[in-house]
Amino acid sequence: MDLSKFDTVKAATQGAFLHLEFDGKLLYDEKTHEPVGLFCLGSDSQAYQNSKHKQQDSRIGRARIGRGGRMKNIKAEETDYEALQLVAGVVTGLRCIESSGVPLEFSYDNVVALFERFPWILEQADEFIHDRSNFRIGAD
C-alpha cells in the first residue's frame, strides 16, 4: 500500500477550511451565502510543531521545582492562554467573519481577540486542527 496518500504532514501544511457552526447549524454569510469560517493548518504542520516546542521550552524555563518536587511559577491561566495562542498561530485566514457589523481583517491579534470573545470558535478550531481526517490527501 502506498502510504503517501495518508501524508498528514503535507496536508496539514497545505491547510484546510473550517466551516463554523453554532447550535448544530453551519454558518453562512447573510448577504453572500458563503460559508463562514477559518482557514487553518493542522497540528502535524511544521508551523504548529515549532510553536508548540517554543511554548514548551518557555514553560520549562519558567518552571521552578519547589519543595516536594512540585512545580512553581506555572499557572493554569497561562497554559490556557498558551493553548489559545497555539491554535491562533495556525489560523491562516478568515472568511465572512464580522465583529459588531465590521468585517474582521485577518491578523494574529484579531484571531486571538476572536477566540477570547467567542470561545466556541476556539473550541471548534482546536478540535479541527487536531483531527487528522481534516487533513488528508486523496485518502479513500
Q: Is 75 inside any structural domain?
A: no
Tens digits of residue pLDDT in 45-66: 999 998 888 877 777 776 666 5
Q: β-strands 98-99, 91-95: how paired?
A: unpaired
Q: How confident is the model at residue 140, as a pLDDT? A: 43
Q: Is 73 inside any structural domain?
A: no
Q: Is 55 inside any structural domain?
A: no
Global pTM value: 0.84
Q: Are 29 and 96 in contact (CB under 8 A)?
A: yes
Q: Is 39 inside any structural domain?
A: yes
Q: Is 74 inside any structural domain?
A: no
Q: Is 61 inside any structural domain?
A: no
Number of domains observed in the structure of the chain = 1
Q: Is 107 inside any structural domain?
A: yes
The larger pLDDT score, comparing residue 139 to residue 66, is at: 66
Q: Is 27 inside any structural domain?
A: yes
Q: Which residues pair with 99 in a beta bridge?
A: 102
> What is the extent of the structural domain holding 29?
3-45+87-134
Q: How confident is the model at residue 76, as a pLDDT? A: 63
State the distance between the two ends of the chain, measured CA to CA, in whole angstroms: 12
